[in-house]
A and B are shown apart, each in its own frame.
Chain A
Amino acid sequence: MTGTFPNPAAIRLADLTVSHQRRAAVHHVSGCFAPGSLTAIVGPNGAGKTTLLRALAGLHRPDAGRIEGAAGQVALLPQQAMLDRGFPLSCLDAVLFGLWAESGAFRAIGRAGQRRAAEALVAVGLQGFERRPVGSLSAGQFQRVMFARLLLQDAPVILLDEPFNALDARTAAELLGVVRRWHGEGRTVVAVLHDLELVRREFPETLLLARDCLGWGPTGEVLTAANRLRARMMAEAWDDQAEACAA
């Protein structure tokens, strides 16, 4: 959980096109997430941010192009909206799924595993929550449980889909601290975010996506007024009925 990853593989996107529900969502994107980088993916709604993140996690197959270097080293935090927050599961059991790579479907999880899960809960500020059902948690507490699961996964590359949405300021600040720690340990972190002030303050690299890549590099150079205007104009021009990549 506290290991360092001085050299996780770079993740390269080579002319990547991914569709979601038969519509082009990510369009001919090329670039590289450098090892140990901390990158924000930003863009208007429907820009393909979540689709790209899920493609990096292996959940969407590219229609064209390639993703190199992501397989087998990625841990994903999904959007809260995609999970059943009322699911009848204890916090400890939810976190223990982070050991899937070790336990799989059948292997027993011993005391050492249970202790690591309990420690992960402590690390995200949920000491004593082991037996609490996740359905009884606030949005912030639930997100802390999901971060504890990520801690247990101990992956070199961490993908976060809107990790601070609908969280109170204190929870967001504490979880941001966890993200900083991951970055400090040399892990590659990629997060889909909407809060541009947060991105400017905390994320050195940014990928501005509007289905096409409008900019990828140092945040200050990417989040220019001109680029953001271009992204907005592209979002207004999208044809949601377009069946597939036309280029």
Chain B
Amino acid sequence: MSALWAPFLEFGFLRRALVGCLALSVAAPPLGVFLMLRRMSLTADVLAHGILPGVAAGFLLAGLSLPAMALGGLAAGLLVAVGAGALSRATGGREDASLAALYLVALAAGVAMVSMRGGAVELTNLLFGSVLGVDDGALLLMAGAASLTLPALALAWRPLVLECFDPGFAAAVGARGAAWHLGFLGLVVLNLLAAFQALGTLMAVGLMMLPAIAARHWARQVGGMAYAAVAIAVLASTGGLLLSFHADVPAGPAVVLCAGLGWAVSVVAGPVDGLLARLLRRRHLAG
């Protein structure tokens, strides 16, 4: 049993990684639940890639400086968040097509920009992160993002639920759904940004979306889903770091793989529309 906690007691870098991942785990998954409910699960992925050119611009200007990369990433992420919707509205096209185009261009531009100054190590760090190398600045960014996200989400909860459920009604009663949605996307970008040093731009979205998608199988109401998503993310973070330590697997992918395992277990054994629950219900109806 000591294998579960001894590594955290023994190694400071693992404790820092755990604290950072737990901060991400309490704030990002509830945002993922709302993204899923708005059928925007892939948007989070696009935003995560949208951050990359901004981070790369910060890297080109100031090297591996967290504030520069974070500011660049925030600006680029917000630009993509606002730009995709505005582009599709202005051209009469489909938003998913605009998102796919932006995502591909952003990824290619980000990789090209990083490669202009950095080598393979920097590129790998930006794409896949380095959970075990989380420094004070990154830790503060993660904790700060979580501290801002939770009260902001509590404040925006009612309009966000209404905007997801019935946007027409929200507009008719003057609930300012679009403004709340924009603020919500800002929180998504902030959390993806907070996660990028630990998990990288390619993996940051994993801890946001996988627990949220899994939570659908454990609760029938939005609040319950948010709690379930946080619980799954906390387990995935802790389990992923332990897996990384004991099995010598890179920590970021290990955390995301554990979140994926949580999703797989939920799909099979979750009480709400899980495969086993459906099978049992069918047998009950047949019998």
Contact = CB atoms under 8 A, between A and B. Distances in A.
Interface of A: 21-22, 54, 57-59, 74-76, 78, 82-84, 87-90, 93-94, 97, 100-101, 103, 105-106, 133, 135-136, 149
Contact of A97 (B92, B155, B169): B169
Interface of B: 37, 92, 155-156, 158-159, 161-162, 164-166, 168-169, 171-173, 175, 180, 216, 219-222, 224-225
A245 to B, nearest CB: 17
Contacts of A54: 168
B225 A59 contact: no
Contacts of A94: 165
Contacts of A97: 162, 165-166, 169, 173
A156 to B, nearest CB: 14
Nearest to A58: B172
Given A59-B171, A76-B172, A97-B166, A105 B221 contact: no
Nearest to B224: A88
11 contacts: A21-B92, A87-B164, A88-B216, A88-B222, A89-B161, A93-B221, A94-B165, A101-B173, A105-B155, A105-B158, A105-B175
The CB with the most chain B CB atoms within 10 A, among A22, A76, A84, A88, is that of A88
Contacts of A135: 220
A105 B163 CA distance: 11
Contacts of A76: 168-169, 172
A54 B158 CA distance: 23
A97 B172 CA distance: 12
A38 to B, nearest CB: 21
Contacts of B180: 105
Contacts of A89: 161, 165, 221-222
The CB with the most chain A CB atoms within 10 A, among B155, B159, B165, B225, is that of B165
Interface of B is mostly: helix
Given A78-B166, A94-B165, A105-B175, 18 more contacts: A57-B168, A58-B172, A59-B171, A59-B172, A74-B172, A82-B168, A83-B166, A87-B37, A90-B221, A97-B166, A97-B169, A97-B173, A100-B173, A100-B175, A103-B158, A105-B180, A133-B220, A133-B221
A58 B171 contact: yes
A246 B265 CA distance: 59
Given A21-B92, A83-B166, A105-B158, A88 B172 contact: no
Interface of A is mostly: mixed
A77 B37 CA distance: 21
Nearest to A136: B220
A105 B176 CA distance: 10
The CB with the most chain A CB atoms within 10 A, among B92, B219, B221, is that of B221
Nearest to B38: A84
Contacts of B171: 58-59
In the A-B complex, the 10 residue pairs with the smallest Cβ-Cβ separation, listed nearest first, are A133-B220, A100-B173, A57-B172, A105-B159, A78-B168, A87-B165, A76-B172, A88-B221, A88-B222, A59-B171
A89 B225 CA distance: 11
Contacts of B175: 100, 105
A209 to B, nearest CB: 20
A82 B169 CA distance: 10
A91 B24 CA distance: 32
Nearest to A72: B174
B162 A100 contact: yes
B111 to A, nearest CB: 37
Contacts of A101: 173
A22 B93 CA distance: 12
A71 to B, nearest CB: 10
B219 to A, nearest CB: 7
B4 to A, nearest CB: 33
B178 to A, nearest CB: 12
A54 B171 CA distance: 10
